[in-house]
């Protein structure tokens, strides 16, 4: 019996496995390339773009990135929030209307991406508090200490978000060409 690329019972196709693996690897590679700029990266951009295009299945490339990060950088305490922090951005994008006016899509996607950057420390803090036994006040102090970094993160996510629509268009074009 020959394997084909059709969807069977909601399972991933061979093509989807390959595409999602490559997208997860591109996310990880983009992080490595951008490490020279603290708190500036394209992970939010890719998360928003793949979520718009692949919806629920976007979790595959997102978690491939998360696990690649753990494999190459170490499965340590810093990594644990990554198990949920990117899912928060994915969830926010999933809640957006599928059909927004084309003129507002770029700014909405950029705003959501930017908001995730501004809130990164707040989202990260509960795991840090649990892992390191911080009190609520200790957690708030940890968040406050990170505010300058979250500011850089949010502003850079917003402006890097300019790339979201071109990536969405490229992914959709690639999907059409593979059908």
* Percentage with pLDDT > 90 across the chain: 93
In a domain, 2, yes or no: no
Please provide the DSSP assignment of 49-92 as one string: HHHHHHGGGGHHHHHHHHHHHHHHH-SSGGGTTHHHHHHHHHHH
| CA angle, 115 then 69 then 134, to 5° | 65
Q: Which residue range is the domain that position 115 belongs to?
A: 14-178
The token pair at 46 is 């890719």
In a domain, 5, yes or no: no
Q: Is the pLDDT of residue 5 over 60?
A: no
Overall average pLDDT of the 114-122 stretch: 98
Overall average pLDDT of the 93-115 stretch: 97
What is the DSSP secondary structure assignment for residue 35, as one 8-state letter? T
In a domain, 152, yes or no: yes
Overall average pLDDT of the 170-178 stretch: 94
In a domain, 46, yes or no: yes
Those residues with Cβ within 8 angstroms of residue 169's Cβ, 6 or more apart along the chain or in another chain: none
Looking at the 3D structure of the chain, how many domains does it have?
A: 1
In a domain, 40, yes or no: yes
In a domain, 1, yes or no: no
| Contact of 44 with 163, CB cutoff 8 Å | no
pLDDT class for 7, splitting at 50, 70, 90?
A: low
Q: Is the pLDDT of residue 20 over 80?
A: yes
116: nearest Cα among 154, 66, 147:
154
In a domain, 6, yes or no: no
- pLDDT score, position 32: 97
Q: Is the pLDDT of residue 4 over 70?
A: no
Task: Determine the Cα–Cα distance for residues 44 and 65; give it in Å rounded to an integer.
Answer: 12
* Percentage with pLDDT > 70 across the chain: 94
pLDDT class for 168, splitting at 50, 70, 90?
A: very high
- pLDDT score, position 179: 73
Overall average pLDDT of the 143-168 stretch: 98
Three-state DSSP state, 76: coil
In a domain, 55, yes or no: yes
């Amino acid at each position: 019996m020959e394997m084909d690329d059709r969807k069977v019972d909601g399972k991933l196709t061979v093509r989807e496995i390959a595409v999602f693996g490559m997208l997860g690897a591109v996310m990880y590679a983009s992080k490595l390339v951008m490490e020279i700029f603290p708190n500036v990266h394209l992970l939010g951009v890719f998360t928003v773009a793949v979520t718009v295009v692949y919806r629920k299945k976007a979790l595959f490339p997102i978690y491939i990135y998360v696990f690649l990060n753990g494999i190459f950088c170490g499965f340590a305490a810093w990594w644990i929030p990554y198990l949920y922090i990117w899912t928060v951005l994915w969830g926010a994008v999933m809640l957006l209307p599928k059909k927004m006016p084309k003129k507002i899509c770029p700014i909405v996607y950029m705003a959501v991406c930017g908001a995730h950057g501004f809130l990164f420390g707040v989202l990260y803090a509960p795991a840090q508090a649990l892992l390191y036994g911080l009190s609520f006040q200790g957690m708030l102090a940890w968040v406050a200490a990170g505010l300058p970094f979250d500011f850089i993160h949010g502003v850079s996510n917003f402006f890097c978000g300019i790339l979201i629509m071109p990536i969405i268009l490229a992914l959709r074009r690639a999907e059409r060409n593979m059908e």
